[in-house]
Amino acid sequence: MGCWNQNVEAMPPEELRQVQYRLAKALVSRIYETSEFYRRRMKEQGVRPDDIRSLADIRKLPFMYKQDLRDNYPDGLFCAPRDELVRYHVSSGTTGKPTVVGYTRRDIENWSESLARAFSSCGLGRGDVLQVSYGYGLFTGGLGVHYGAERVGATVLPTSVGNTERQIELMQDLHTTAIACTPSYLLHMGEVAEKMGVSIRDDTDLRIGILGAEPWSEQMRSRIEEWLGIRAYDIYGTSELSGPMFTECSEQQGIHIWGDLALAEVVDPKTGEVLQPGERGELVVTILQKEAFPMIRYRVGDITIMDEAPCACGRTHPRIRRIQGRVDDMLIVRGINVFPSQVEHALLEIPEVGRHFQIVVDRKGALDAMLVRVEVSEEAFSDKITDLMMIRKMVEHRLRGSLNVGVAVELVEPGSLPRFEGKSKKVVDRRSL
């Protein structure tokens, strides 16, 4: 498929590395000047902007972790004046505090540019109607994809998530040709459509799925492509790094990471040592041109493999393979990130329940369902069903409020959940991809 920005996307690799070096050096100097946080971090590590004399010198810089966002909530990592921010997005943190990301106008431009290149590489452009069924609002999915799609000239149908029957009617009536959503939501749509007597394959114009925000597999891709009669492309990103930014190209052989916008490394999660292309490890990303919220060597927590081999599409930017898991215990439930520590944190604030809980995640049809089993505290334990029902409703309400995802709660007797001597196993994930 034709490039959106041929000069950049097909740049010789050596030239691209030069561009990366120049951008990285400028970024490091800028944040050292403007940010108290980065200056302190670099001093602790004994590295100064002058020490960055080649691209490989980036490895001298300290890593950043999700914990850094939490410790500096809400805006301690911002590097642009407040009045230059044009948007915030917010996502789940590891405990009570969410993570807040700010964007300048130029940050939104670069984010849209990244997606414009990505969408063109999947064959999306003028004449397409893209139904955006990612959530609009604090989540980066809806608005992120929206701006990228408008930039390539597609017509956007911003349905956001939910109200599935209506989505299917609109898909037919407005001749949607492409959809952006989680792979599990598309499977759910397929099922709901069949119940309505609509075959997505035969009765709609859908030909492309831009699917991500949660783990999925090659088998799931085949199932979706065969059943719905579309080409399904993987889209990747995280809120800390802007939001969705990168997709596969028409070759469907890995996700191109635009090297002038992001510098990707894969490291050994235990030692932090940079691994060779082809070796599996944790993705680390530096966002090279971000003004408001630069991220330097951010340990994303996703497991992947770097691929620097030339791609048959002609784009020279490196690829990462499909995300193969997490280094931490983060779960993704209906596209929302959930950390067991958030559940623990929320439960600790409720005196009627104890400290012991278990999370069970399963699929109901195509959709995820999350159950939290929690012990009632000795004091609140009662043989009156109405009392227990009230507690259950209240706990469900509180968990939904802090996790932003619907949760069923099951109350169990004090002392009845398994106790662990070593590392506790708080999550039972019964989903298979």
Calpha distance 181→183 (Å, rounded): 6
For ligand DLL, the closer of residues 90 and 350 by Cβ is: 90
**Is 247 near ligand DLL (CB under 6 A)?**
no
Closest CA to 119 of 208, 17, 213: 208
* Sites for ligand DLL among residues 365-384 (CB under 6 A): none
For ligand DLL, the closer of residues 94 and 337 by Cβ is: 337
**Is 242 near ligand DLL (CB under 6 A)?**
no
Backbone φ and ψ for 35, nearest 5 degrees, come out as -115, 120
Secondary structure element (H or E) that encloses residue 342, with its range: helix 340-348
Query: Closest separation between CB of residue 216 and ligand DLL, Å?
Result: 6
Tell me how crowded residue 389 is: count the other CB atoms within 10 A of its CB. 11
**Is 131 near ligand DLL (CB under 6 A)?**
no
**Is 111 near ligand DLL (CB under 6 A)?**
no
For ligand DLL, the closer of residues 236 and 357 by Cβ is: 236
Among 93, 148, 209, 244, the residue binding ligand DLL under the rule CB under 6 A is 244
Q: Which two tokens stand for residue 399?
A: 């968990």
Q: Where are the alpha helices (DSSP H) in 35-182?
A: 36-45, 66-71, 105-121, 140-151, 164-173
Tell me how crowded residue 83 is: count the other CB atoms within 10 A of its CB. 6
**Is 237 near ligand DLL (CB under 6 A)?**
yes
The bridge status of strand 208-212 relative to strand 129-132 is: unpaired
**Is 215 near ligand DLL (CB under 6 A)?**
yes
For ligand DLL, the closer of residues 102 and 237 by Cβ is: 237
Contact in structure between 303 and 326 (CB atoms under 8 Å): yes
SS3 of residue 28 by DSSP:
helix
* Sites for ligand DLL among residues 273-312 (CB under 6 A): 300-302
Cβ neighbors of 53 (< 8 A, separation 6 or more) are none
**Is 236 near ligand DLL (CB under 6 A)?**
yes
Cβ neighbors of 223 (< 8 A, separation 6 or more) are 187
Query: Closest separation between CB of residue 197 and ligand DLL, Å?
Result: 30
**Is 239 near ligand DLL (CB under 6 A)?**
yes
Query: Closest separation between CB of residue 409 and ligand DLL, Å?
Result: 23
The β-bridge partners of 253 are: none
Q: Which two tokens stand for residue 255?
A: 């996700």
For ligand DLL, the closer of residues 241 and 395 by Cβ is: 241
Going residue by residue from 325 to 364, which x/- string records binding to ligand DLL, judged by CB under 6 A?
Answer: -x-----x----x---------------------------
How many residues sit in the footprint of ligand DLL (CB under 6 A)? Answer: 23
Q: How far separated are the first and last CA of the chain, in Å rounded?
A: 29
Calpha distance 340→359 (Å, rounded): 8
Q: Give residue 268's region: left, alpha or beta (phi > 0; psi -120 to 50).
A: beta
Among 98, 141, 254, 269, the residue binding ligand DLL under the rule CB under 6 A is 141
Residue corresponding to tokens 């990285």 = 24
Question: Which residue type, as a one-letter code, is found at position 183?
Answer: P
68-76, 102-110, 232-240, 338-346 -> range binding ligand DLL (CB under 6 A): 232-240
SS3 of residue 81 by DSSP:
coil
Among 209, 243, 281, 294, the residue binding ligand DLL under the rule CB under 6 A is 243
For ligand DLL, the closer of residues 133 and 164 by Cβ is: 133
27-35, 101-109, 134-142, 223-231 -> range binding ligand DLL (CB under 6 A): 134-142
For ligand DLL, the closer of residues 28 and 112 by Cβ is: 112
Instruction: Give me the residues that bind ligand DLL (CB under 6 A), please.
Output: 91, 134, 140-141, 212-215, 234-239, 243-244, 300-302, 323, 326, 332, 337
